[in-house]
Every structure is written in C-alpha cells, then in structure tokens.
Amino acid sequence: MLAPSWRIIGKKVYWLSIPDTKSRLFENIWPIPNGVNYNAYLIAGDDEYLLIDSSKAIFTSEELVRVIKEITDPSKIRKIAVLHTEPDHSGLISGILSRIGNPIVYSTSRASFFMRSMFNLETNVVKDGDEITIGNRILRVIELPWIHWPDTMFLYLEDEKILFSSDAFGAFGALEKPVFDDEIDFVKYMHEAKEYFATVVVTYRQMVLRALDKVSRLGINPEIIAPSHGAVLRSRIKEFMKELLSWCNMEKKRKITIIYGTMYGLTEKLAEFAKNIISRKVEVVMHNAVGNDLNHVLSDVLDSAGVLFITPIYEGNIFPPITNLIELMRIKKLGEGKISAVVVTKLWGGAAANKIPILLKDAGYDVLSPVREYVNYPNESDLRDYEDFLQSFIDKVLENF
C-alpha cells in the first residue's frame, strides 16, 4: 500500500498526496484497479497555515497529521477550507480537527449545511468573490456548484497563480509520490483523466463549461492547477484544457463502441464478427458488459459516434448487465447525439428485445430499428442479414457524424 507524502508546489504551498490503493471501487461503483489519489494542500502565510480539504478515511487522521508535522507544527493550522463535502475529501476532517486545535473552517453555504448534517460541524460561510486571508496572502473564492456536488468552490491563490480546482481537472490513479504533469507518462495519465470524467463528472459537463467560462471571465489564468485527484498541472494545462473541453462538448470521433453481454460466448462471437466488419470503415472498440470494463465502456462511449449493443435475452428479459449499463448512460446523458443499434440472441420469446430501444431512447440515443433478433448463433443466411444490418448501422453513424 502506498503511503501519504508531501511536496512543495509553490512558495510555501504544500501538496499532501494521499494515495488510495486499497479501495476497489470509487464511489463504490467505478473500478479503480490503479487506485486514486486524494489531494489536500497546505498554504503558509506569515505564521499561520490554511489546510485545503483532507482525505477519505483510507488512512487515519493521525497518519495525515504525521505528514503535516514534517512540514509544520499542526497547531499553526488556523484555517481549513472545504472545497466540497464529498467524503473522499472530508472523511478525515473531524479527526484532523481534534488533533490540531480549533481552526476556522470555511465552506460555501450549501457545504455548510452538509457539514452540519454530516459531521455536526459549523463552518464560516464564504461566497463568490470573497477572500480568505492567510497572513498577507489572499485566496479568492469562486463558487462553482455542481462540479460535481452542489456545494463546490474553487480557490485561487493570487500571488502564486495556483487554482485549487476540487474535482475538476482530476484523474483516477494513485500516485506513488506527488508528481507534476511533466513528470509522468501524460498520454497514459489522460486515459485515467478521461475515465474519471466519463464516470464521475460527465453528468455535469455543462456546469464544467460554465465554470471554465467563469474562471476565464474573472481574468484568472492559472500557472498551476491543483486538483483534488491526480497530478498537479503546470506544463500541460493547455493540453488538458483542450481535452476537457472536447469531453464536455462530447465531441464525436469516427468511432463505434461495441458493448456485448454474453453467457457462453455466442454473442461474443457476434461482437467479434461486427468488430471485423466495422473496422473496415471506422475505428471500433469492443467491451464486455460484465466485469471490470465499466470505466472503459463509458470513456469510449463518450467520444463514439455510434454504439452497438449485442446481447442475449435472459430468461425472457433484458440481460441485467446491459440494463445496468444503459441506466448509467441515461443518468449520465451519454446517448445525446449518438446513434445506437441492438442485436439480440434469444431462446425465449417475449418482448424484451423491443424494450431495449425504449431504454436507449430514454438515454438520449437515436436507435436504428428494428432490433436484429437471432435464435442462438446465426446461420449462414442470418450472417448475411447481420452483415447488411451492420452496414446500415455504419452508414447511419457516418451520416450523423
């Protein structure tokens, strides 16, 4: 298990890096085989310190205070700022408070309500445009609700041009030690960032766009972006921003994602067949609806122009893992502007196959009809029909591109 550590990221600005390689799932939904980082920050001004956030209770507050002691006497922390209250950043706050004295806790009004109900803690409410001082240093408050909780704020340290961006600009992946964007494999890192966006943030993509616009209108041009998850950005801010904008706008590629459910491998064969046909025309990726692929599925759906669902009918009903995936896409509005098509194999009769397009339309998809239904694995003649169907789907996707 990786251990918490710290690093200087600006003049008397310290990054407390808390890696989580213990949790199997983020938000108890999203698989994180590479873990995740919770980032807290410590800022010194004159003889006092302000702590931004804490961490999920993956370590004890005592362990986090031990790291703080390597930087300063914890009793010098006179202020704590809670960027939002989700327990992956606030989980240790009560324990920290009991170990460092009696600092003032700052939060937005909504966060104040949550802090009271979650931790029985009173906070000093700050609002948009307010300033929090640390000695003679100024942290500007920028309220940005719904990224992705309703109570979020960013803080901007004016003298060092550091933007503390809460869940925005984050990524999955635990960090062995605190590292900047120019010290990592940035391409690999952006895969983690995209999966984090497609699972955790994507529902509120319009709010992220508004946030970026607001920050820009305030004339804030940060030299460092310090998110609550992942690496600190300093050299690749523009590249990250470009990708983030494309994700927020759900920019489509000439790409089709195949999602298949399978019990004994027959529908997997159909998926392989489709992959071979589609790959002649456009980029194609294929995912099993069951297993650890959930983040990859949503990440690929995010920038695909089309999504093909291939699934068995299960006891006369929709194969449950497919239902679950479509429901996640509905919640996250991931079907908007995309074409989908459905292929089922079945032994049972019933209307389940035709219920899938209803769910897909509810998730925002334009659905190619009718659903293609085969009894078990298609015979030679069925396969010719299947190929025609796939061609119609590709044509429709390309028309919509």
Q: Which lies closer to ligand FEO via its Cβ, residue 205 or residue 287?
A: 205
Q: Which lies closer to ligand FEO via its Cβ, residue 89 or residue 194?
A: 89
- Write the single-letter amino acid at 196: Y
- Write the single-letter amino acid at 366: D
Element spanning 177, H or E: none
- 160 burial via Cβ count (<10 Å: 0-12, 13-18, 19+): middle
For the bound state, the minimum distance from the C-beta of residue 39 to ligand FEO, rounded and expressed in Å, comes to 9
**Buried/exposed code over 44-73 (b: 16+ C-beta within 10 A; e: otherwise):** bbeebbbbbbbbbbbbebeebbebbeebbe
For the bound state, the minimum distance from the C-beta of residue 300 to ligand FEO, rounded and expressed in Å, comes to 23
**Buried/exposed code over 276-303 (b: 16+ C-beta within 10 A; e: otherwise):** ebbeeebebbbbbbbeebbbbbbbbbbb
Q: How far apart are the first and last CA of the chain?
A: 45
Which whole-number Å values give the CA distances from 363 to 253, 339, 356, in the listed order? Answer: 19, 11, 11
Q: Which lies closer to ligand FEO via its Cβ, residue 163 or residue 356?
A: 163
Q: Which lies closer to ligand FEO via its Cβ, residue 201 or residue 367?
A: 201
Q: Which lies closer to ligand FEO via its Cβ, residue 206 or residue 235?
A: 206
Considering only CA atoms, which of 29, 35, 31 is closest in space to residue 2? 35
For the bound state, the minimum distance from the C-beta of residue 27 to ligand FEO, rounded and expressed in Å, comes to 8
Tokens describing residue 59: 């370590």
Residue 203 is classified by DSSP as G
From the CB of residue 128, how many other CB atoms can be counted at a distance below 10 Å?
A: 13
Peptide bond into 148 cis (omega under 30): yes
Q: Which residues contact 339 (CB under 8 A, 6 or more apart)?
A: 305, 306, 307, 365, 366, 367, 368, 393, 396, 397, 400
For the bound state, the minimum distance from the C-beta of residue 86 to ligand FEO, rounded and expressed in Å, comes to 4
For the bound state, the minimum distance from the C-beta of residue 290 to ligand FEO, rounded and expressed in Å, comes to 27
For the bound state, the minimum distance from the C-beta of residue 93 to ligand FEO, rounded and expressed in Å, comes to 13
Q: Which lies closer to ligand FEO via its Cβ, residue 148 or residue 396?
A: 148
In the bound state, the residue with its beta carbon closest to ligand FEO is 86
For the bound state, the minimum distance from the C-beta of residue 55 to ligand FEO, rounded and expressed in Å, comes to 10
For the bound state, the minimum distance from the C-beta of residue 114 to ligand FEO, rounded and expressed in Å, comes to 12
- Count of helix runs (H) and strand runs (E) in the chain: 12, 21
Q: Which lies closer to ligand FEO via its Cβ, residue 88 or residue 366?
A: 88
For the bound state, the minimum distance from the C-beta of residue 286 to ligand FEO, rounded and expressed in Å, comes to 30
Q: Which residues bind ligand FEO (CB under 6 A)?
A: 84, 86, 88-89, 148-149, 167, 228-229
Provide the sign of the torsion angle of the four alpha carbons 259, 265, 270, 271, taken in this order: positive
Q: Which lies closer to ligand FEO via its Cβ, residue 84 or residue 338?
A: 84
β-bridge mates for residue 45, sequence order: 48
For the bound state, the minimum distance from the C-beta of residue 329 to ligand FEO, rounded and expressed in Å, comes to 20
Q: Which lies closer to ligand FEO via its Cβ, residue 119 or residue 149?
A: 149
Q: Which lies closer to ligand FEO via its Cβ, residue 86 or residue 143?
A: 86
Element spanning 299, H or E: helix 294-302
